[in-house]
Structure 1
């Protein structure tokens, strides 16, 4: 493991993903998979009044994917589908080098060293992509 990519903070996050486990009766479920490394995140959601009320995650990913999913899950409850899609898009823009802003989501700075490793980007995006799509489907 490379020290700049895998540090204690990332490993701590990876080991403690909030909302871990599937929901018994979700309004929508989405599975996203990284073709590069095989990492996978499944998100189950329930929306109420246009906001994410409950979520369940099944995360089978590398430490970076798990850490990113943990950061997303810690802040997602209460957000709208549009806000979750915006966060997904902003993370994608950051990883692609199109933006330097990480202030849109608490804690993402811990993943900044991975920006220089494009092969890791798909795994980092999985949690954000799965929850945004599931929220959109449930809200439709």
Structure 2
């Protein structure tokens, strides 16, 4: 578990300066929104040879949704698809409060406090749900 001040710093940095922004021409993608708060995200995923070669996103929203999308692209890009899906399941369980923060998630553990904020869980999972939809073919 990260110290609270460090977690806030990571969320703030990725929320204000998200990594992994942009589109991937020709790659499967999915767009989702959270009508409760207005967050919107589109996620592109390029898979080759069983590996998630690239993950990108566009959209707008709160610091949590943008930080989550940014951290997701950094964490999952280049991973074998099975490992990426496993990390996504671990992240989802953490955000929903079903599992404690897992060191395998790296900086994503900064979002573990969202599990206590039920209204913000959707923000933290929006990009991940879009990625799942993109991998399923939209």
Range of TM-score over shorter length: 0.7 to 0.9
Counting only pairs closer than 5 Å after superposition, residues 11-90 of structure 1 correspond to structure 2 as: 11-26=12-27, 28-90=28-90
Deviation at 1:136, TM superposition (A): 4.0
Contact in 2 for aligned 1:17/1:73 (Cα 8 Å): no
- 1:57-91 superposed Cα distances (whole Å, 9 cap, x missing partner): 10312101111111111121122333333223222
Aligned residues: 134
Q: Which ranges of structure 1 fall in alignment gaps of 5 or more residues? A: none
Q: Offset at 1:127?
A: 1.8
Residue 8 and residue 15 in structure 1: after superposition, are their counterparts in 2 closer, same or farther (change >3 A)? same
Cα 1:69–1:134 shift into 2, 3 Å: same
Q: TM-score, with normalisation over the residues of structure 2?
A: 0.82
CA distance in 2, matches of 1:136, 1:80: 16
Note the alpha carbon deviations across 1:77-122, whole angstroms, 9 max, x for none: 1223333332232222222221113323110222222221110001
Displacement of 1:135 in angstroms is 2.9
Larger helix proportion of the pair: 2
The TM-score, its normalising length taken from structure 1, stands at 0.81
Q: What's the secondary structure of 1:137's corresponding residue?
A: coil
